Amino acid sequence: MVEIAGKYNLESNENLDEYYKAIGVPFIPRKMMCSSRPELTISVDEKGEWTISSSTLLRTVVITFRLGEEYNEHMPGGVTIQSVTTREGDSFVTVSTVPNGTKVIRRYDFNETHCILYLKHEESGVEAKRFYKRA
């Protein structure tokens, strides 16, 4: 198995603007989010609690979870979503339910040098990718 914990820097995106549009992000925040270059920091403690931190110059979003257990994520704009993250080999899969009941799926695929984040809005079928290189 690949070492998941570490730091990753964004290299590129595919279809990100359309994905953010599908999930309802307003125009100006959407454009800002698409132009940001976040750094991911992933760690796990001795109790099995994982933390994924996404940092840009403007903000840092931190989620902490235990695999297979439901948790709340507090999104910008005050929206809270319920999520569950599981591990499938060298991947994390997070299924989130937004307040209107729609599901959003994030899949983090890890290898020795990269993390590819797949984003899918279930209702519309819109998908995006973010490509990160291990720092």
Domains, the chain, ordered by start: 6-129 (2.40.128.20)
How does 119-132 read in b/e, with b if 16+ C-beta sit within 10 Å?
bbbeeeebebbbeb
Query: Rg (Cα) of the chain, in Å, rounded?
Result: 14
Looking at residues 8-21, what average pLDDT do you find?
96
Contact, 132 vs 14, CB < 8 A? no
Check pLDDT > 80 for residue 77: no
Check pLDDT > 80 for residue 66: yes
The per-residue pLDDT for range 55-65, each reduced to its tens digit, is: 998 889 899 99
Q: Given this model, what pLDDT does residue 134 score?
A: 98
Amino acid type, 79? V
Output the CA torsion sign for 46, 91, 71, 22.
positive
The per-residue pLDDT for range 83-116, each reduced to its tens digit, is: 999 999 999 999 999 888 889 999 999 999 999 9
Contact, 83 vs 66, CB < 8 A? no
Q: Given this model, what pLDDT does residue 12 score?
A: 97
The per-residue pLDDT for range 15-42, each reduced to its tens digit, is: 999 999 998 888 998 998 899 999 999 9
Residue that the structure tokens 């005050």 belong to: 78
Q: E strand or H helix at 43, and its extent?
A: strand 39-44
Q: Answer with the residue of higher pLDDT: 6 or 78.
A: 6
